[in-house]
Amino acid sequence: MSAHGFSKLVYSTESGRVCPDCKQAVDACACAQTKKSAVLGNGQVKVARQTKGRGGKCVTVVTGVALDAEALGALGKQLRSRCGAGGTVKDGVIEIQGDHCEVVLQALLQAGHAAKRSGG
């Protein structure tokens, strides 16, 4: 232990590079897979329209979908293609360019998600 009471081991002569979270060799570390498979949403699916911080451009935002990052990305792709618009998935939030709240809401309900409209 260091003089400050904490240690940040990043390399070991025995095993090479070490993961700072699980203290395992980087080759044997499972932290990245655990983060990928973690569920991002809380299950309360909300669809809203936002313009704040986007230079006046409208974006449809879907939050709270209880899926892992991979499945959330696939859902985002389906919604974008259904709306015929661009968008992104980041930090557990699906963003679709344009005002497509009703189309997205119907698509989510058909996919079995209990989605609700949020905002005005």
Give domain 45-117's CATH architecture. 2-Layer Sandwich (3.30)
What pLDDT is recorded for position 86? 93
Residue 63 has a pLDDT of 92
Note the pLDDT of residue 1. Answer: 45
Taking the model in full, what pTM does it have? 0.67
- The CA-based diameter of the chain, rounded to the nearest angstrom, is 59
CATH 3.30.780.10 residue spans of the chain: 45-117
Residue 97, class by beta-carbon neighbours within 10 Å (0-12 exposed, 13-18 middle, 19+ buried)?
A: middle
Q: How many CA atoms lie within 13 A of 74 on its CB side?
A: 6
Residues of the chain predicted below pLDDT 70: 1-15, 32-42, 120
SS3 23: coil
Q: Residue 107 has what pLDDT?
A: 93
